């Protein structure tokens, strides 16, 4: 049954069937979904929406006076927040059980950071986690007198990705800014690039979690300008502007990598107009924004287990992204090209349109290479990354799909940065 209830009566387990306000005033892309986390409740509270509609056939009803909302509400918050720990083996055995759901919810609250951004013997005021496959565990810490974690060599040598809570993004930004102080002139470019890149990842993460936010879109525009300036200043050098060791796929890390690769390649093929460079950089940063509409349980699902319907859903991210980006004023048609054409190829076997040969724009040809390269060199559930060398050989051998001249320039760009 569909019911209208006050927004503050919403609880975990309810099925939202609409908001009593326009789409633009809510932080959600979909208006029909199950409430699975307190993060979603906080988003509803922050949005200022007064009433929502729930479907009691698909989820929980309003509480009686004697009921508690859920275990999390009934108990005081634990002093140390810990994401659920689960082995990849277990997740593979029981792909659709609650363990997998917990993993998907946990990973959404965490942010992948570059291990190279942390300096041994410095202290950090945020929690650190290490992720290997689907195992997420807090890093063993040495505390200083202030109670802050001290970065040790063992922490930096730990296998897997380092993660922090999304809510600690600002503390991480402050740590990076502080770490930049006192570096030598020789190191300053590398440090500056690290700061630009890590900041860009956080901004993209924020935007993809709230794709209706003009302020977050503006922040992303600024970061693209910083990326372009840095690449021009260093004559095409992109060291530290992209993430090298990617043990797992994070759409925000991938988006920043593809944007940096695309801008550097565009410069290398002779594009000098700032407007054109911006369109390629911004369009590349946003190329997968449509992924924000894909349910996380599909996004994180091993590729081999995807149903035909889910594959179609995933492929729909191109048009979903277009619909999102078109809502923003100031986004030019040129900026949309990398988004629309990043899965096209010269032979016409790509999607969503199957554009053939020169029907694809230059920015589309560039991003089809940079996107494929970054995808191939990133592991994800059901796919083990290949090396940069193997990925470039693969691209070189697919002459009918990828523009050989652009690929040569891309290889030069990577060569300069030691890839």
Residues that bind Fe ion (CB under 5 A): 288
Q: 236, 263 in Cβ contact below 8 A?
A: no
Count of positions (residues) in the chain: 419
Closer residue to Fe ion in complex, CB, 288/344: 288
Residue 176 to residue 364: CA distance in whole angstroms: 34
Q: 1, 45 in Cβ contact below 8 A?
A: no
On the CB side of 202, how many CA atoms lie within 13 Å of its CA? 21
HEC secondary structure over 260-306: HHHHHHHHHCCCCCHHHHHHHHHHHHCCCHHHHHCCHHHHCCCHHHC
Which residue in the shown chain puts its C-beta closest to Fe ion?
A: 288
Closer residue to Fe ion in complex, CB, 161/288: 288
Integer angstrom CA distances of residue 334 from 208, 348, 363, 364: 21, 21, 9, 10
Q: 268, 409 in Cβ contact below 8 A?
A: yes
Closer residue to Fe ion in complex, CB, 288/341: 288
Residue 332 to residue 275: CA distance in whole angstroms: 10
CB of 359 to Fe ion, least distance (A): 19
Q: 198, 242 in Cβ contact below 8 A?
A: no
CB of 315 to Fe ion, least distance (A): 9
Closer residue to Fe ion in complex, CB, 9/298: 298
CB of 391 to Fe ion, least distance (A): 16
**Would you give the DSSP letter of residue 151?**
P
CB of 27 to Fe ion, least distance (A): 23
CB of 342 to Fe ion, least distance (A): 5
Neighbours of 319 (CB within 10 A): 14
CB of 311 to Fe ion, least distance (A): 13
Closer residue to Fe ion in complex, CB, 19/252: 252
Q: 152, 161 in Cβ contact below 8 A?
A: no
Closer residue to Fe ion in complex, CB, 135/288: 288
Closer residue to Fe ion in complex, CB, 14/289: 289
Closer residue to Fe ion in complex, CB, 60/279: 279
Task: For the chain, state the CA radius of gyration.
Answer: 22
CB of 419 to Fe ion, least distance (A): 22
Q: 112, 201 in Cβ contact below 8 A?
A: yes
CB of 62 to Fe ion, least distance (A): 40
């Amino acid at each position: 049954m569909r019911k209208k209830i006050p927004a503050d009566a919403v609880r975990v387990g309810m099925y939202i069937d609409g908001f009593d306000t326009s789409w633009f005033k809510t932080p959600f892309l979909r208006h029909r979904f199950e409430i699975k986390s307190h993060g979603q409740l906080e988003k509803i509270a922050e949005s200022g929406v007064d009433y929502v509609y729930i479907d009691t056939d698909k989820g929980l009803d309003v509480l009686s006076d004697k009921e508690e909302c859920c275990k999390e509400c009934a108990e005081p918050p634990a002093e140390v927040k810990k994401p659920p720990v689960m082995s990849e083996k277990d997740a593979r055995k029981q792909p659709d059980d609650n363990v997998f759901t917990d993993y998907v919810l946990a990973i959404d609250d965490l942010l992948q950071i570059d291990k190279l951004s942390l300096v041994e013997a410095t202290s950090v005021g945020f929690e650190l986690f290490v992720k290997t496959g689907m195992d997420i565990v807090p890093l063993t810490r040495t505390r200083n007198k202030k109670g802050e974690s001290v970065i040790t060599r063992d922490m930096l040598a730990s296998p897997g990705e380092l993660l922090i809570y999304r809510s600690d993004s600002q503390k991480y930004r402050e740590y990076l800014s502080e770490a930049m102080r006192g570096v030598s002139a020789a190191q300053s470019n590398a440090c500056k690039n690290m700061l630009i890149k890590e900041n860009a990842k956080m901004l993209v993460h924020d935007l993809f979690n709230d794709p209706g936010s003009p302020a977050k879109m503006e922040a992303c525009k600024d970061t693209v300008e910083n990326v372009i300036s840095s690449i021009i200043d260093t004559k095409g050098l992109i060291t530290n502007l992209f993430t090298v060791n990617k043990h797992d796929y994070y759409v925000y890390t991938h988006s920043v990598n593809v944007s940096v690769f695309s801008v550097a390649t565009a410069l290398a093929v002779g594009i000098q107009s700032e407007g054109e460079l911006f369109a390629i950089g911004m369009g590349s940063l946003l190329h997968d924004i449509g992924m924000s509409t894909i349910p996380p349980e599909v996004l994180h699902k091993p590729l081999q287990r995807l149903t035909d319907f889910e594959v179609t859903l995933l492929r729909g991210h191109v048009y979903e992204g277009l619909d999102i980006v078109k809502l923003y004023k100031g986004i030019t048609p040129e900026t949309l090209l990398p988004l629309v054409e990043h899965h096209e190829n010269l032979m016409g076997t790509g999607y969503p349109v199957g554009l053939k040969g020169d029907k694809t724009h230059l920015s589309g040809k560039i991003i089809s290479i940079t996107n494929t390269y970054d995808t191939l060199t990133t592991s994800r559930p059901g796919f083990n990354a290949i090396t940069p060398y193997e990925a470039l050989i693969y691209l070189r051998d697919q002459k009918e799909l990828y523009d050989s001249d652009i690929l040569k320039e891309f290889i030069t760009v990577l060569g300069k940065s030691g890839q």
